[in-house]
């Protein structure tokens, strides 16, 4: 019998290693969906975690320039939230230099660039987001609170 979150015996951590090849973010979202279901997240919360994870994986795939071409994902199940850590061993980047998309310029038709929304989406979908990046790679840590009593 598998114990539910909040009990002392439930599995607390799942580690996933995926190669940087097209569509591998789908493997990550399948794991995220199984974890969210186990933790009794509602369908909206599950979709938010999956979407944020897709964005984080695609960013790592496209921007890490990791020679090992691998992304490491850790799901940490805690009684009140799910922590997801996405790590690569790429070249890193300066978080403060990432341009913020301007939704008003986009709506007004003044900005036709279709990319660059990933970090903003991740931040809007998750409860906490932290990015640490440097010469050793990038670690994005995000969490989603469990909403008790929500729709299942």
Domain that holds residue 110: 15-145
Total-model pTM:
0.83
Q: In this structure, is residue 9 part of a structural domain?
A: no
User: Per residue of the chain (152 residues), what is the pLDDT tens digit?
Assistant: 355 655 556 668 999 999 999 999 999 999 999 999 999 999 999 999 999 999 999 999 998 988 999 999 999 999 899 999 999 999 888 877 776 766 666 666 666 655 567 899 999 999 999 999 999 999 999 999 987 544 43
Residues whose CB is less than 8 angstroms from the CB of residue 79 and which lie 6 or more positions away in sequence, other chains included: 5, 6, 146
**Which residues are registered as beta bridge partners of 72?**
17, 87
**Domains held by the chain: number:** 1
CATH number of the domain within which 135 lies: 3.30.565.10
Two structure tokens written together for 139: 């670690």
The answer to whether residue 4 is domain-embedded is: no
Tell me how long the chain is. Answer: 152
Position 83 in a domain:
yes
Q: Is residue 1 part of a domain?
A: no
The answer to whether position 29 is within a domain reads yes
């Amino acid at each position: 019998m598998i114990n539910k979150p909040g009990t002392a015996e439930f599995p607390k951590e799942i580690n996933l290693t995926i190669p940087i090849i097209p569509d591998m973010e789908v493997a990550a979202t399948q794991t995220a969906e199984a974890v969210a279901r186990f933790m009794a997240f509602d369908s909206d919360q599950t979709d938010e975690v999956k979407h944020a994870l897709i964005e984080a994986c695609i960013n790592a795939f496209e921007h890490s320039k990791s020679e090992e071409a691998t992304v490491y994902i850790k799901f940490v199940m805690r009684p009140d939230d799910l922590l997801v850590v996405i790590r690569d061993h790429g070249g890193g980047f300066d978080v403060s230099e990432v341009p913020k998309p301007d939704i008003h310029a986009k709506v007004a038709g003044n900005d036709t660039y279709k990319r660059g929304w990933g970090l903003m989406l991740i931040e809007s979908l998750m409860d906490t987001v932290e990015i640490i990046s440097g010469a050793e790679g990038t670690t994005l840590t995000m969490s989603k609170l469990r909403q008790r009593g929500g729709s299942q």
